[in-house]
Amino acid sequence: MEALIACLIGLMFAAALYLMLSGSLVKFVFGFTLIGNAVNLLIFTAGRLHHVQPPLIPPDRTGLTHAVSNALPQALILTAIVIGFAMITFVLVLLLRTYAHTGTLDVGEASFLDEAAEKEPVSTDQDQTFLVGPS
């Protein structure tokens, strides 16, 4: 089981790296999402895969009565998922703003590389509301 999951993780890493290196920032975000999930699977596998019961104590006992699965990796993954979700949201908004200013999300293009080419968007009022939110 571990070997199978390891192959899957490797495959996900490879696909994600390909996406992230492709030079388009939109593909980078997809790659980042994929690689985040691959890492989560890695942590999950690191906690060992066994057919055991969840770590719950029966109501009439004070301790565990049977072999249980490792709950810590799941807690770690949950944290990592939440953080990754926030990061992806932020990156998407940042890319949207960058696209509005530079007109491209291809990292090889001149308007992306040249800082002076970055200009204010047409409507500054809208810009302000976007950054600050309704006040």
Partner 1 sequence: MRFLPALPILLPMAVALALSLLRDDQRRSHGVALAGAMMHLALAILLLATVLKHEIAVLWVGGWPAPFGICLVADYLSAVMVLITAIINTAVMAYACHDIDPGQVRTGFYPFMQILTAAVCGAFLTGDLFNLYVWFEVMLMASFGLLVMGRNPGRLTGGVKYVTVNLIATLFFITAIGLIYGLTGTLNMADLHAKAAGVENTALLTAAAMLLMVAFGIKAALFPLFFWLPAAYHTLPVPVSAFFAGMLSKVGVYALIRMFTLVFTSNTGFTHTTLMVVAALTMLFGVVGAASQMEIRRILSFHIISQVGYMVLGLALFTPLALAGAIVYLVHHIIVKANLFLVSGLVRHTGGSFNLKTIGGLYKTNGLVAVGFIIPAFALAGFPPLSGFWAKLLIIKACLERQQYTLALLSAAVGLLTVFSMIKIWTEAFWKPAPAEKNSSSIKRPLSPWMLIPVLSLALVTVLLGLCMEPVIQFSMVAAGQLMDPQVYISAVLGGQP
Residues that bind partner 1 (CB under 8 A): 20, 25, 28, 32, 35-36, 39, 42-43, 45-47, 72-73, 76, 79-80, 83, 86-87, 90-91, 94-95, 97-98, 101-102, 112-113, 115-116, 118-120, 128, 131-132, 135
Closest to 25 in 3D by CA, of 104, 84, 83: 104
Closer by beta carbon to partner 1, 54 or else 131: 131
Structure tokens given for 65 = 């009565």
Shorter beta-carbon distance to partner 1: residue 60 or 87: 87
- For partner 1, the closer of residues 42 and 68 by Cβ is 42
Q: How far is the CB of 84 from partner 1 (least distance, A)?
A: 9
Which is it for the CA torsion 46, 6, 20, 94, positive or negative?
negative
Structure tokens at 131: 């950054």
User: What's the gap between Cα 56 and its chain centre?
Assistant: 30
Residue at token pair 């308007």: 111
